[in-house]
C-alpha cells in the first residue's frame, strides 16, 4: 500500500525547521559552485549508483534527449511531482527521451532510495550522487530542478517541470513543451524558468543525516 503524502512530508518538514536553525541562516546550503547556462555542454557526472543495482555515467546513456532532474524523494515538492515525472518518462520513452533523476542530497542511504523506487514503481533512472559534484557542476539549486539536454548534451532548457505544484492548476507545461519542440527540431518556446522546491543541501548533509537515517 502506498504511504500517504503526510508520511513523507511530516518528518522532513520538522527537519527543515531544525536545519534552518542549525545551518540555514547563512543560506550556503542551497548554493552550488557553478551554474550551467543555456547552450553550455553538460558535464558527465561519472559512474554513480542507481536504484536498479547498476551504475551509470551520462556517457552510458544513448537516448536522443536527456531530461536530467535533480530531486530527492523526501522533498515535499518532489513528492508532489513524482507521478508527473513517472508519466513524463512513460509518455516520451518511445520518442527517444530518458528521464534521469539525480539525488544530490545524500540524506538517505541508497537502500531508502530503492525502497521508494519500488514503492512508486519508478520507470526512470534514480541515481545517488553522495559527493554532490553533479549538482555543483550543473548548478542545481532546488529539488526538482530540470536540465534538458539535446543529442550533443547541450543544455536547451533548465528550470521547473511546470508552473504549479498542484497538477490540477497547471497552465504551462514547460518541460513537455520543450521536449516537443526539440523532438520536432525546433528551439523550446521557453528556455529557462525558476525551479521550485527544497534547496539542495550542499552544506548540511551531516545535520540532516543525524535526523533522518
- Each residue's pLDDT tens digit, 200-213: 988 755 554 444 44
| Structural domains of the chain, with CATH | 5-212 (3.40.30.10)
How far is the C-alpha of 116 from the C-alpha of 135, rounded, in Å? 21
| pLDDT for 30 | 57
Q: Which tens digits make up the pLDDT trace of 34-55? A: 889 999 999 999 999 999 999 9
CB 74 within 8 A of CB 12: yes
How far is the C-alpha of 51 from the C-alpha of 54, rounded, in Å? 7
DSSP single-letter state for residue 190: -
| pLDDT for 46 | 92
| pLDDT for 7 | 37
User: Looking at residues 86-98, what average pLDDT do you find?
Assistant: 98
User: Looking at residues 25-29, what average pLDDT do you find?
Assistant: 42
Please say if the pLDDT value at position 22 is more than 60.
no
Task: Provide the pairing of β-strand 55-56 with 198-199.
Answer: unpaired
Amino acid at each position: 500500500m502506498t504511504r500517504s503524502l503526510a508520511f513523507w512530508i511530516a518528518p522532513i518538514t520538522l527537519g527543515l525547521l531544525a536545519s534552518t536553525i542549525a545551518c540555514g541562516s547563512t543560506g550556503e546550503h542551497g548554493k552550488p559552485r557553478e551554474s550551467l547556462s543555456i547552450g553550455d555542454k553538460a558535464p558527465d557526472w561519472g559512474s554513480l549508483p542507481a536504484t536498479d543495482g547498476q551504475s551509470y555515467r551520462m556517457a552510458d546513456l544513448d537516448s536522443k534527449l536527456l531530461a536530467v532532474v535533480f530531486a530527492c524523494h523526501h522533498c515535499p515538492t518532489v513528492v508532489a511531482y513524482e507521478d508527473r515525472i513517472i508519466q513524463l518518462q512513460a509518455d516520451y520513452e518511445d520518442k527517444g527521451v530518458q528521464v534521469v533523476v539525480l539525488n544530490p542530497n545524500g540524506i538517505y542511504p541508497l537502500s531508502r532510495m530503492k525502497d521508494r523506487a519500488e514503492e512508486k514503481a519508478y520507470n526512470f533512472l534514480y541515481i545517488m550522487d553522495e559527493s554532490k559534484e553533479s549538482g555543483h557542476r550543473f548548478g542545481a539549486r532546488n529539488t526538482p530542478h530540470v536540465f534538458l539536454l539535446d543529442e550533443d548534451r547541450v543544455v536547451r532548457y533548465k528550470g521547473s517541470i511546470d508552473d504549479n505544484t498542484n497538477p490540477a492548476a497547471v497552465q504551462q507545461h514547460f518541460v513537455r513543451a520543450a521536449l516537443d519542440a526539440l523532438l520536432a527540431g525546433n528551439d523550446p518556446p521557453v528556455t529557462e524558468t525558476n525551479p521550485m522546491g527544497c534547496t539542495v543541501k550542499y552544506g548540511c548533509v551531516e545535520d540532516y543525516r543525524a535526523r533522518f537515517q
